[in-house]
Every structure is written in C-alpha cells, then in structure tokens.
Chain A
C-alpha cells in the first residue's frame, strides 16, 4: 500500500464559487427533490429565505469549482470508493451568495476489512460566505482498496 501519512494536514488551495440559481435547481432535480423552495423564488421567500436555499448535500457541486492542485493523493480510480460524509449546517446558504471553500486532509488511516486492506483518506471542508461566516462544514471519507 502506498504510504500517504505524510499528507495529513495538507491544505488545498482555497477557492470561491457563486451559489447559482440554475445550479440549485439542477442539483435538486438530479437528487429527485421536488420541494418547490429549490426552484421557485416566491416559495423560498414564503419559507423565510432571501432566495433559493440549497439542498442538504449541495456542497458536492464545488467539484465544478475546486482548484485542480497537483494530485497529491494519486488514488487509482478503479479501486476508489466513497466511504461516507458528514455535513454540519451552521447557517443558511442561498442562491446569489459566494462561498469560499477551505479544505485540508484531516487524516489518513489504514484498515483491513472484508475486502482486504484499504486506505481511508478523510478531508475536511469549511464553507465561508461573503460575510466571513462559516455556514457549512463537511467531513468526507474516500476509500482506496488494496491492489488485487
């Protein structure tokens, strides 16, 4: 197994992205969420939001904006699985806002499971809005299975 322990603490280049009306609507459709607050501004305002709020896992769209740093992990995509994620909601995120994403490799773990040895890479993301408020935290685990 490739030793990646030295990557713990690695910080990715921060990036800023706009929360777009059309993207909110597209994402809600892709996850089959028919709540009108994700497509109708009037429904969103009636629910108390300044504009369309974002679905709970909308943070996924940041992969469209992330800065493509040098691939420090060097994972083999054929052996990569998503492990899991945890979102912490600290404030509203609505269309029209700007988010800055600061992320770092929080941990690298080695385990042996039913599918043999595996490497777990845990990344933490802070989402900070244009008012410098941290409105969302995300912790995500990616698994690379051992070579067959």
Chain B
C-alpha cells in the first residue's frame, strides 16, 4: 500500500505584474542599490532595454512560496539559480514538484522538491527566469502507531 504523501501537490501562485516601484521597494528592504535595478539611464547605457528586478526579489517571493507549501519550520535548504531577467510588467508564475521522499528509520521524512519561476508578459511566450530547489524535513509522528 502506498504511503500518504507528506506534502500536498504544489499550488500555483502568480505574482504581478511587477512594477519599477516593486524593484525600488526591494532595493530599500534588501539594501541592494545597484543602479541597474532602478536607474533607467544606467541600465540602458549598460545595454539593457530597461531596468530589471533583483534576482533576490524573485528568490524572496519564491522562498515564501516554498515556505507556505512545505511548512516554514520544515524548510532545511533552499537554493536558486537565476536563468533570466525579470522586466517591469512581467507576471511571475511559481511552481514546484516533489523529486524525492525518503523515510528515515525513526519515521522522519525528508522531501526534496524542484522549484521554477516563469515570467509572463503580454505578447510573449512564458520564459523560465529562475530554477530552484528545497529540502524539507518532517519529524516522525509523536504517537507510535503499529508501523510495519
């Protein structure tokens, strides 16, 4: 008999469209004032069509998504790899899937998941902007049942 899943299927979450104000708000909260994220003149001179969001802004929203899906207290590791830029006007689409579930001899369970953030904008195909992963740990049930 198949054991019940430790974590439910990943919800889909959409955030956006993101604005320049969202980038500035993150710059202030996080303390990253690289002008490429808020100064249009600087960004264009560097060869970009406009300012773009901090990788850590997308990672931060994804961290919240992972914590609410897997349980904030269960999160042991969280990683992100930036694949593409997030532009003003983009809507972020968050998704995840369970890659591995391992039950330890004491009944505790470790779950490894893959995470992805796609960016959608009018007239463009959704683009992968961030790939990530997380590991969550779940203690054994407090009451010892008749496990076999």
Residue numbers of A with Cβ under 8 A of B are 23, 26-33, 35, 37, 47-48, 53, 55-57, 60-64, 77-89, 148
Prevailing SS type, chain B contact patch: helix
Contacts of A148 in B (CB 8 A): 47
Between A and B, 15 residue pairs with Cβ closer than 8 Å are: A30-B26, A31-B29, A32-B64, A33-B60, A35-B68, A47-B72, A56-B60, A61-B29, A61-B31, A62-B31, A63-B30, A63-B32, A77-B35, A86-B77, A89-B77
Contacts of B59 in A (CB 8 A): 57, 85
B138 within 8 A of A: no
B7 within 8 A of A: no
Task: Give the residue among A31, A82, A83 with the most B Cβ atoms within 10 A.
Answer: A31
B63 within 8 A of A: yes
Cα–Cα, bound, A135→B72 (Å): 15
Asked if A31 and B26 sit within 8 Å, CB to CB, the answer is yes
Counting from the closest, the 6 A-B pairs by CB-CB distance are A31-B60, A56-B63, A30-B29, A82-B55, A33-B64, A84-B81
Contacts of A86 in B (CB 8 A): 77-80
Interface size on B, residues (CB 8 A): 38
Given contact pairs A30-B28, A37-B72, A63-B31, a sample of 7 additional A-B residue pairs in the complex whose CB atoms are under 8 Å apart: A27-B29, A62-B31, A63-B30, A77-B36, A78-B36, A80-B34, A86-B80
> Mask for B48-80, Cβ within 8 A of A = 1, else 0?
000000111101110110111000110111111
On whether A81 and B57 interact (CB within 8 A), knowing A30-B28, A60-B32, A89-B75, the answer reads no
Contacts of B79 in A (CB 8 A): 84-87
The listed residue (B28, B56, B77) touching A57 by CB distance below 8 A is B56
Task: Give the residue among A48, A56, A61 with the most B Cβ atoms within 10 A.
Answer: A56
B140 within 8 A of A: no
Cα–Cα, bound, A77→B26 (Å): 18
